[in-house]
Amino acid sequence: QVQLVQSGAEVKKPGASVKVSCKASGYTFTSYDINWVRQATGQGLEWMGWMNPNSGNTGYAQKFQGRVTMTRNTSISTAYMELSSLRSEDTAVYYCAREFGIVATIYYYYYMDVWGKGTTVTVSS
C-alpha cells in the first residue's frame, strides 16, 4: 500500500541541525511532490516547504528560508528535511506528506493524501 515511513525521534542541542527522512513505498516516488509540515505540542499545523522528487526543485515557507533544506535520493525513494540552527521553538513533530494533484473536467484539485506518522524532534540543552 501507499505509505510514507519516517525516521525515528531525535534529540538535539540548540544550534545543532537535524535531518529527518521520509521513505516512500507503494507508488512512483518521482511522480508526486513531498511536503513537510510541523506541529508543536498542542499547536496547529505549520507548512514548511515542498520538494519535487523528480527535479529536486524546492520551495520553502518564508519563515524557514535559510534554515531548511529539502533533498531526496531517488534510488531509495527517500525524501529528507534538514533544519539547522535549531532552537527550543523548533521542538515539534515533523510530518512528510504526499501532494496529490489531479485534473477533473476543467478543475485542478490539490491536497495532501498520504502522511507519514511523524518524527518528534526535541531541542533541549
- How many residues interact with another protein (rule CB under 8 A)? 23
Least distance from C-beta 16 to another protein, angstroms? 25
Counting every residue written for the chain, the total comes to 125
Binding pattern for the stretch 91-120 against another protein, x by CB under 8 A and - elsewhere = ----x-x---------xxxxxxx-xxxx--
- The residue range among 12-20, 59-67, 68-76, 77-85 that interacts with another protein, by the rule CB under 8 A, is 59-67
Q: Strand, helix or coil at 73?
A: strand
CA-nearest of 66, 65, 78, 77 to 7 is: 78
Q: Does 27 bind another protein (CB under 8 A)?
A: no
Contacts of 40 (CB under 8 A, 6+ apart): 46, 89, 91, 92
Q: Strand, helix or coil at 88?
A: helix
Q: Does 41 bind another protein (CB under 8 A)?
A: no
What cell does 30 get?
518521482
- The residue range among 9-17, 39-47, 67-75, 84-92 that interacts with another protein, by the rule CB under 8 A, is 39-47
Given the complex with another protein, which of 13 and 33 has the nearer CB atom?
33
Give the span between the Cα atoms of 105 and 11, in whole angstroms: 48
Q: What residues make contact with another protein under the rule CB under 8 A?
A: 35, 37, 44-47, 50, 59, 61-62, 95, 97, 107-113, 115-118
